[in-house]
Structure 1
Amino acid sequence: MTHEREHAQVRQTWFTELLATALNDLAHAERVITAFAAQQPDGYIAWGMAEGEATQAHRALRQAPSLQTAAPADQDTADATADALFELAGKVSQSLVRAAELASHPDDKMACLQAALHAGRLREALR
């Protein structure tokens, strides 16, 4: 029984770390895209789809019950480009799929999968 309990605890820790990282990355992407849009004359036309998907992914992930108890603080980094955002969206999407596989609560699984869908769409919008 002890081995099973340790395995479950490791699995839960990994899941929580994946959620926290994805939530921070999505919040960061949302801020950066909004800043890019605000800096260009037609910025909201050029960045609107990406901004919408980043926002939707962030909101979808926030619905995960596991994040209701301990929402992590957003991390901020200054250097971001469209290429970096593209890579970030891909990384977040993969992490969210992994988190969905680890989730034991159906609502956590659904939040992860919905956020992964929007992160994938964000990546497409950044192409």
Structure 2
Amino acid sequence: MAHERQHDDVRHNWFTEILGNALNDLAHAERVITSYAAQQPDGFIAWGMAEGEAVQAHQALRQAPSLRAVPPADHTDLASTADALFDLARTISQNLVRAAELAADPDDKMACLQAALHAGRLRDTLR
């Protein structure tokens, strides 16, 4: 019984760590994309779809009941932005699918899967 409880605790801690990291990464992606869109004359045309998916992924994940939001760190490195955002979106999507597999609460599972869907779409718009 004690071993099972420890396993559940480890699983929950890993799950909440993945959620927190994904939430921070999505917030970061959203800020960078919005910044790029605002800096270019046709920025909202070029970055609009990516921005929308980043926002939707972030909002979907925030619906997870187990999530404790931590404000993301501010990072403004603009070099290779699209490639970095593509890699970030791919990692976020993979981690959210992993988190959905670990989720015990069906609402957490749904929030993770919806956010993963939007993160995947974000990745696709950045190709």
TM-score bracket, normalised by the shorter chain, equals over 0.9
Q: Which residue of 2 aligns with 1:48?
A: 48
Matched, 1:25 2:29: no
Superposition CA RMSD, Å = 0.7
Q: Following superposition of structure 1 onto structure 2, how do residues 59-78 of structure 1 map, counting pairs within 5 Å?
A: 59-67=59-67, 70-78=68-76
Q: Which residue of 1 aligns with 2:104?
A: 104
Which stretches of structure 1, 4 residues or longer, exceed 2 Å deviation after superposition? Answer: none
Shift of 1:79: 1.4
Shift of 1:77: 1.7
Shift of 1:76: 2.1
How many matched pairs? 125
Gaps of 5+ in 1: none
Matched, 1:2 2:2: yes
Gaps of 5+ in 2: none
Partner letter of residue 2 of structure 2? T
Q: Which residue of 2 aligns with 1:93?
A: 93
C-alpha distance in 1 between matches for 2:3 and 2:60: 34
Deviations, residues 63-82 of structure 1 (Å, cap 9, x unaligned): 00111xx2212122221411
Q: Percent identity?
A: 75
C-alpha distance in 2 between matches for 1:113 and 1:20: 15
Q: Which residue of 1 aligns with 2:35?
A: 35
TM-score (norm 2): 0.96
